[in-house]
A and B are shown apart, each in its own frame.
Chain A
């Protein structure tokens, strides 16, 4: 098979990826495969200390290394005076290179651009930096203590950000942002409760580990900045680079080759500012490609500690929730100030709870910055509320599945942010999960030294709202179509998905459609390829752009055929009078007769909503993403090792556009979840990462996958809506596994990951209490 043959054989009922042949031949170009003439190679010197004042930096010897073209420090950036040296998607709190202070181990201090990496590294080795160490904070407890050292002395600089972001920093403390949700009367709700459960659940920092680490090429010339970069959000990179350089956005060009994985790590500027600054200083194009060790200190998932006070009636109805959530956002805000909103309201869960009070905080510490991570706060939230739900079920003597059935949202119930639930499928998802796993009430079954048991979980997740996607399309004189979008291909198959939307709407084969990779000079605005929003938002925009072209085709044909537009139809790549294929005019002929060269179509899709900054009520999400998981595990009582025997991943998709990719994304969520459930954790000691490489930090291999995996992407075509599935089936995994372990052993692990050590400790504690293993 060749690439041409593959494209001709595209089956819309199956989907897949447009460039599949390029992907199995190693030819699909990532950022690291691009070379620009005259390009230099960059390396960064990073802070060895978690918090320190920079007393001096001596780069004299570094500058003398043959091949070195530019050596840059934060002080140089300030001295230049022509760059705004701070960036960040909410607060401008992150310096391009450290200015006076370093705030985490790995904070970039000096950048070098040289003819090759050997010269750049040699130069770094010759830089002398003297630091005065400052007291540092790493844990939430340390950061929140009275008199704690401040990670940022100054109040955060604000700047333009997303419409949904609510900002309420607490200067003079390490609280970077605070989100509140106030629904109903929480004290009255607790008054109605027969039992109140008060539990704390925590999640550690983990890393995204995209197989392709961050890479960027920058070229500054002719008054413009051009970047080739693997980013999920090209338009925020463009606006931030324009802000840094003080130039119009039209003079920043961001080109996005396919990504070797993103998972949120490649949202918002990371290495783009320093690469561009080095290109400016060197007056040559510069490439920066992070090592795996650097990737680990560039962005992480937020560690979180979530306290849930949950009031329930004796018959198992949740009547009040008072949740306090702390997210460790590290040394710089990144998107943490927004993530705590989603992660905060998310702790109310997919349940009908009339009275909710939530405080959610982003907390600065001297660890690597935390940012967007697949699941966006809901992993941490769902781990808490779905774990607690099984404790409640146990205490009340109610079957965990039945307890969920009594509380899960139905159409018309108010979700936590106050809007009525529509298109609810929680019950259906739970029933399917319970049925597939063979739900047995959570019975523990002894099998030699192992105990087997099952667990379930159900989650709700929002998608960023309001948001905007614009698509444009060009119908060519041969009837083929160019589709222009800024949606980023990162393995989810969005280019095929968009081609399938256009093919279906225009009635032409997908192989007659080309989907352009994002290039801000060419492709129109898309807010972000994240939040599981692209198929819904950009897909709708693509359909609109094609409809724009359809209307033009009908107008042209109506003139040519002298027939009312209402009497025409589109079929088989032509416009024709209804039921008269013999009078059909092919698209290409209409384009030629238009004398426009091509027909241009465009459309914008906007979602409306947002939350009140004081109450957190309003419209939290354009629609609500829904998923359920069911796990059967075996726990070895002698070693504490947990094996996931079977797993069911259920997710509501509405309509499925690209079936193979929908399955792959769901399977991928399980792989992600297995790691976070059982072994992934970034371990710090005194702010120093102990396992920042793939020898010491484990991610799931093929051997870690559940013995049997059921991928259940639930489709309801009649609903005529498309729900994102890129993240949705991930958050249930950790809690479903944790609940299964709980039912197998009686050991309730409250802090991820569920390691053999913790399970054994739990088993010993139970033995000491003379509580028999069930």
Chain B
């Protein structure tokens, strides 16, 4: 690995060749790793072979997870009980400082609002759209779904640039508006509004960006679940005189409820970790800070490892109940097999 790293960063090498070599090395390397380990296991004494083999299958994954997630998690938890330079032990004072500081409390309140509002709207719009699109022709349905999903392919940096042209504001007398929202608003005869400075509504405007990004994800997965609802049940309900509305709430929704839980969980975790949108759009100013953004700012801008780590631990602890629900779900599924 060290040898290859040296070759890849050689400044004299041709860029295109380096890129191809790097791709080949990464892709072929991992295949050879598993093949080689299996070869070695085959040479072991017979009674050991099948006891060792599972560990070469899971081993690399466990090793990577240990280094890249478990080790940092433990390390960060330790840092959260130390001071800003990670030198001295300070007990719980990082946490008490966070829970008594008004600005930090604002970020906690905002994160809570994000976690409630974004999944709610993303799932509701995604579910509505999936249900409605299901009633269209196949080609119209696919085209419409692709457009809703498209934002998923855009980076948060890209999305922020996209939404600059929606929320952009110029004070009256400083040229015409270049943001769509102010274009509409002034077109209706109003004065332009600095949307991202309007506390507390600016939080909602930032959430709309993430709802825009996440609805496609919810929609694609819920749409698949809706299509898996057996046609005969719906047909039977219709013959019994049920309206579309009744069929949706009494037949479709109960059938796809478990998928709704999975989708909501995934979105909650994504929302809880969100930082890019806030960081790029407002920098966490004007009352828009959220926990994950505070964590990055504490670490990298204020260089306060203790506070940054404490925010990370708060993030981590807050998601444990959500995960507990999912682990229980997994256990139930496992027992059914």
- Do A and B actually bind? no
Q: Which residues of A contact B (CB under 8 A)?
A: none
Q: Show the binding face of B for A, using Cβ within 8 Å.
A: none
